[in-house]
Amino acid sequence: MRFWSLAPDCCTEGSPWGRSSSPRPAPPRPALLRPSPWISAPPPTPGSTLRPHRCSSLPGRRSPGCTSSRQWPPPDLPPPRTPPRQPRRQRQCLSSSPPRTQGPGGYTVGTMSEKFDCHYCRDPLQGKKYVQKEGRHCCVKCFDKFCANTCVECRKPIGADSKEVHYKNRYWHDSCFRCAKCYHPLANETFVSKENKILCNKCTTREDSPRCKGCFKQIVAGDQNVEYKKNVWHKDCFTCSNCKQVIGTGSFFPKGEDFYCVTCHETKFAKHCVKCNKAITSGGITYQDQPWHGECFVCATCSKKLAGQRFTAVEDQYYCVDCYKSFVAKKCAGCKNPITGFGKGSSVVNYEGQSWHDYCFHCKKCSMNLANKRFVCHNEQIYCPDCAKKL
């Protein structure tokens, strides 16, 4: 209880301090009151007890029934009232634990040793577990509600007590960070990100491995396979389209989307050589719509291969240029050289069983060329009509 003290003459009769003998002056004009826990009076002797007294609330007036009893010395006064406490600036707690994670989602979890309040609910944090993120301190409950990242896998918040994994601005619980194929945990292992999917190394190898064109299963490392025109088969899946025998790494013949072994291709599709009557599997040539093996189409005299060479056909026989000149070609009646039909003198003039190069067929006397002209034969010699008249 607090009392308001006025002038010292407000003490009543019976007070141990005595009564004022001076006449009471006129009551002054009321002044501003000031708080005081005790009445204004001379100090008592040690061990004495204050008697009940009355204290007027205003100068010149007494308050009836206002009595109190006090002992001396008085107890310590309570501290004066202070204005409402303003929120203090948040400071980093040096006794907190290190961050659990690094990067854009990093935060600190520890036990608060200073007087801080939760940034959201304003509850005191001293002595309690707290979370600091982006310079703000908050309780665990508010962190889970307002600050926690959302797990990409389970769509639930990642609490302060949970371990967090982040990769390219995405977050997971450590138990949710696993392979999208085999669900193997990858929080502490290497992984590969492909098309926004997290894969382990084994599944990545399987994912990148090609598929067999025959059975459509993946060809893993170590499998024997056959590759043709960017397509891949297991060795046992690469079979003949006709007899279904495994071709494997052997020779084959493609026909559209089908493949044939050598035997089936010879029986079903291959042409047969005119000379040996065997199937032509490779290196064949065609002359006058007739198929030949390259090794069968040769000179009839020297057996030289004629494929890609100049040759002459005489009565279903084929000769190279040299053999034709030497053994087959007719001799020119003029120059006595063989008439091959190649190059200069390809045109031939025949008369009574004799042959000439076109440039050798000329008048015996005046040497005028008579090819495609009128001429006269006299004593097996050729003359022009004018020279023949002079004979």
What's the confidence (pLDDT) of residue 240? Answer: 92
Query: For residue range 149-189, what is the model confidence (pLDDT) as tens digits?
Result: 889 888 888 877 778 888 888 888 888 888 888 888 888 88
First to last CA, the chain: 180
| Average pLDDT over every residue of 261-266 | 85
Kindly give, in sequence order, each residue whose CB lies less than 8 Å from that of residue 174, ignoring residues fewer than 6 positions away: 162, 163, 164, 165, 185, 187
- Write down the pTM of the prediction: 0.33
Residue 340 has pLDDT above 80, yes or no: no
Burial class (CB in 10 A: 0-12, 13-18, 19+), 14: exposed
Residue 40 corresponds to which amino acid? S
Provide the CB-side half-sphere exposure for 292 (13 A, CA). 16
Q: Which helix (H) or strand (E) holds 137?
A: strand 136-139
| Average pLDDT over every residue of 230-239 | 88
| Average pLDDT over every residue of 59-78 | 48
Query: For residue range 276-292, what is the model confidence (pLDDT) as tens digits?
Result: 988 887 778 888 888 99
Using 50, 70 and 90 to split pLDDT, how confident is the model at 218? confident
What's the confidence (pLDDT) of residue 80? Answer: 54
Using 50, 70 and 90 to split pLDDT, how confident is the model at 63? very low
Residues of the chain with pLDDT > 90, as a percent, come to 3
Q: Which helix (H) or strand (E) holds 231?
A: strand 231-234
Question: Which of 35-44, 129-138, 240-249, 364-373 shows the highest mean pLDDT?
Answer: 240-249
What's the confidence (pLDDT) of residue 298? Answer: 92
Burial class (CB in 10 A: 0-12, 13-18, 19+), 145: middle
Query: For residue range 112-144, what is the model confidence (pLDDT) as tens digits?
Result: 767 777 877 878 777 777 777 777 778 877 877
Using 50, 70 and 90 to split pLDDT, how confident is the model at 17? very low
| Average pLDDT over every residue of 289-312 | 89
| Average pLDDT over every residue of 319-336 | 83
For all residues of the chain together, what is the average pLDDT?
A: 72
181 vs 73: which has the higher pLDDT: 181
| Average pLDDT over every residue of 323-338 | 81
Domains of the chain with bracketed CATH: 108-162 (2.10.110), 221-269 (2.10.110.10), 284-326 (2.10.110.10), 348-389 (2.10.110.10)
Long-range contacts of 308-316 (CB under 8 A, 24+ apart): 310/342, 312/340, 312/341
